[in-house]
Homo-oligomer: A and B are copies of this chain.
Amino acid sequence: MGVIHSSPLSLSPFTTAIRITGSSVFPYTSKANPERVINSPFNHTDNICLPNLLKPTKKFGSFSHFSHISTCLGSKTVPFKCFGKVREMETQEGIFQKTLIDFHGIDEELIQKMVYDALVWCSLHGLVVGDKSVQRSGKVPGVGLVHAPFALLPMAFPEIHWNLACEVAPIFNELIDRNKRKWMPLHRGLLDIHSKMLEINKKEEIRLGLHRSDYMLDEKTKLLLQIELNTISSSFAGLSCRVSELHRSLLNSYGEHIGLDPRRIPGNASVDKFAEALAKAWTEYNRPRALVMVVVQPEEHNMYDQHWLCAELKDRYPFNLLYSLSCVELWEILPDGTLLVGGQEISVVYFRAGYAPTDYPSEAEWRARLLMEQSSAVKCPSISYQLAGTKKIQQELAKPNMLERFLDNKEDIAKLRKCFAGLWSLEDSDIIKKAIERPELFVMKPQREGGGNNIYNDDVRTNLGICHKDHAVSELGVYGAYLRNKEKVISKRAVWMLECGTKVSSSNEGGVAAGFAVLDSIYLN
């Protein structure tokens, strides 16, 4: 059973942009917002290989092999046109200046240089994923690496909306924490565990949430609309920090030529802050010899995103990490609730698995999950937090008077409500009909987490049985962490950074990036 998540007519980030994936550079066309379409110099073929892009130009004479040629242009020496344009845009908060990143007429040679430099940057700075076409690349680090799919330049984003997104993050965190009612049976296994915890009146004294709230911007209603709130395995904190750095590095080199200022890309410290929150949870648990366990999937092409976080933990904090898989049979709980794995005490269980149906192939995984939930280890997230992040529950929260059950502050409630894009169940046949007729109005959210599962635009029709075509929609993700110990909130308003991903569905894309988000950062205006 799916849920259709309404989205407004003119999603601002829904544009053609230059997205660079494993073996190709390809543009996406916007139907929603043709005015803001980036007129890519590339042909609209599926896979434009870099050697073709880096073909000779007259400027540098005739080289016999040009595939390895690129120029790094520093500032000031080579004159380029300035492409930045400023126009006014009205929002519900008033009128503000908006710089559009307008690529009309941008020099093709310059784009080629930027692509080349960006690819080098990714390789040197660990903005990489496992190449799905290479065996073992999801299991063994260091082999089958390919740069992560990324957008060549940041997405323009109004500062006012960004501020709002940062402002509501701690409120959402609070909402997740308070959200303890017994929900409809949707995730049967999770709910069973949840019910058992309710039965034994299990108290989670230390509660840690590492969340990412995803938004789209509606140009018509001028609203920042929440698409989903991830409460388990919020990904790309590691790689998105790298993307912000990549874009800043490109703008340092080329910003003057294209009229963009690197300082307008907000700092992204999400990976530091997630590490800090995990470390604080370990401190609160207050057993110095206990380990932090990272529960991972047996095959994970996005492993370097996780390793960035783990590297931060290893470098800065004194505790030890234990990578593990969710299927664990020899774990045990001591009478006092201590969780032991192989005889070693676990203080914090950080899940980068456990959200997909395939993460529970047998009863053993469910037993392991139950065991963890019964223990006194800090779960990030607990079953309760995880359930609160499911689409069905978010849909419930969007109903009238629901937020009031969990939150007191009326202003907070109003802010959150403004962000709800509205959720309808697929059980409603009128909605299905409308989705088929006007697919651009909807984003179909499958009832699971993890990247690459969203189905946009014409693919809504596909999935409802009509046709095939892929498009991409950019989302802004804002990370936030929440940590409390009994009644003491340790990190509540701790809201940090953003990740900006363009999720593409995996059917038609080809290449190694299929199923990955195309990473982006934002440019404030």
Contacts and interface: CB of A to CB of B under 8 A. Distances in A.
A140 interface: yes
B140 A122 contact: no
A166 interface: no
Interface in A280-321: 289, 296-300, 303-304, 307-308, 310-311, 314, 318-321
A61 B142 contact: no
B146 A71 contact: no
A250 to B, nearest CB: 11
A308 to B, nearest CB: 6
Nearest to A331: B61
B68 A342 contact: no
Contacts of A63: 324-325, 327-328
A119 interface: yes
Contacts of A188: none
Contacts of A323: 68-72
A71 B297 CA distance: 15
A222 interface: no
A158 to B, nearest CB: 31
A62 B330 contact: yes
Nearest to A139: B67
Contacts of A61: 328-331, 341-342
Contact of A77 (B59, B289, B327, B330): B289
Given A320-B72, A325-B69, A123 B128 contact: yes
A515 interface: no
Interface size class of A (residues with CB under 8 A): 35 or more
A50 interface: yes
Contacts of A140: 49-51, 67, 119
Given A22-B143, A296-B68, A323-B69, A307 B77 contact: no
Given A142-B120, A298-B65, A77 B320 contact: yes
Interface in A320-340: 320-325, 327-331
A164 interface: no
A351 to B, nearest CB: 14
Interface string A67-85: 1111111100110000000
Interface string A110-138: 00000010111111111010010010100
B325 A364 contact: no
A64 interface: yes
A364 B62 CA distance: 12
Nearest to A512: B143
B71 A321 contact: yes
Contacts of A142: 118-120, 122-123, 146-147
A253 interface: yes
Give the one of A121, A123, A314 with max B CB within 10 A.
A123
Contact of A59 (B71, B131, B342): B342
A43 B229 CA distance: 49
Interface string A144-169: 11110000000000000000000000
Given A68-B299, A126-B123, A310-B72, A49 B324 contact: no
A124 B308 contact: yes
Given A119-B141, A131-B144, 16 more contacts: A23-B136, A23-B143, A51-B136, A59-B343, A60-B342, A61-B328, A61-B330, A63-B327, A64-B325, A65-B298, A68-B299, A68-B323, A116-B141, A124-B304, A142-B146, A144-B146
10 contacts: A49-B140, A51-B136, A51-B139, A63-B325, A63-B328, A64-B298, A77-B320, A124-B308, A142-B147, A143-B147
